[in-house]
Structure 1
């Protein structure tokens, strides 16, 4: 499928589940598993170098870098062009990649891993870890994070009055 047509389709899909399903059905990546969520409205330059397993969530603004452009600089030093360097990226089962993260080539993530928002992942991420920063380093454990999140007493997002009261200590009527 033509890259421009893929990007146009990503722009027209309402949510990340629909975008992921479109990418999976059209075999845009080398592989894409079931139950994925793709929030970005872009794809890597070489999508065939991205392998995504099952239950992977990719938040907004995440970039996958499957190559570098050093050859453009190197080609002007010491006579002659160089080959562009490329590498693959593999994301295993049950992975969350936070907003505005950058995933570099030759990296394998997970399974059961979380990449904190804004991270730059330059090396493999061990199973069951939470990583963050630039460069990304281990900052926690997947199972511990899941236990904390499941036990939080947050109100249901769809109940606006409960959310307002929880965060701002007010009722919707008192806001007016």
Structure 2
């Protein structure tokens, strides 16, 4: 790993807040672009990070992998020593109002359209159309962003406002509330 990339990765590991992590990356020019209100939980600086562009209001959960290249050319060169097959690289662009769930992988030459959600654990191999929810391996369209919004607004199983997490911490009352709700659903009550 290049020293500068390693240094930035180490610095990102020490920054506990995803918004501050994105601000550090923006200030240091790690990515091609980082817009406003961007949160990046990932701490590893991807190879060829200048090929990644984040627009506005983006949430990137933990352990998301951005692959701006592949290394199959190395295998081919070992098999066919005189081959002239270059490393394949490409850009990744994340448009406005996007959430990317934990442990997802975004391949190169991908644009995630505005107002989209990528479910946790997804492998995005094709562009994500605007206003969609995708998930799976490979990621496929699961629904629309508007359907998701409507479903979330009708969610009556939310916790009371006075118990909401503060500074990424929950109190014992909220934990007890959630466990009671969980147990009731799982026991069929």
Distance 1:150 1:22, change over 3 A: farther
Gaps of 5+ in 2: 182-189
* 1:103 matched residue in structure 2: 106
Aligned to 1:160: 172
Which range moves more in the overlay, 143-152 or 105-114?
143-152
Deviation at 1:159, TM superposition (A): 4.9
1:89 is displaced (CA, Å) by: 0.4
User: CA-atom RMSD, angstroms?
Assistant: 1.8
Q: Output the TM-score relative to the length of structure 1.
A: 0.89
Distance 2:83 2:151 in 1: 55
Match of 2:54 among 52, 55, 72: 52
The answer to whether structure 1 residue 129 and structure 2 residue 141 are counterparts is: no
Verify: 1:118 aligned to 2:121, yes or no: yes
The reply to whether residue 24 of structure 1 matches residue 36 of structure 2 is no
Are 1:41 and 2:53 counterparts?
no
Distance 1:159 1:148 in 2: 27
| In structure 2, C-alpha distance between the alignment counterparts of 1:165 and 1:35, rounded to whole Å | 31
Distance, in Å, in 1 between the alignment partners of 2:178 and 2:62 is 26
Report the Cα distance in structure 1 between the residues aligned to 2:10 and 2:177, rounded to whole angstroms: 40
SS in 2 for 1:127: coil
* TM-score w.r.t. length of structure 2: 0.84
Contact 1:74/1:81 (CA < 8 Å) preserved in 2?
A: no
- Tell me how far apart the structure 1 counterparts of residues 115 and 145 of structure 2 sit (CA, whole Å): 6
Which of the numbers 86, 94, 98 marks the counterpart of 2:97? 94
1:65 to 64, 67, 86: 67
Q: How big is the shift at 1:162?
A: 3.8
CA contact (8 A) 1:67 1:86 kept: yes
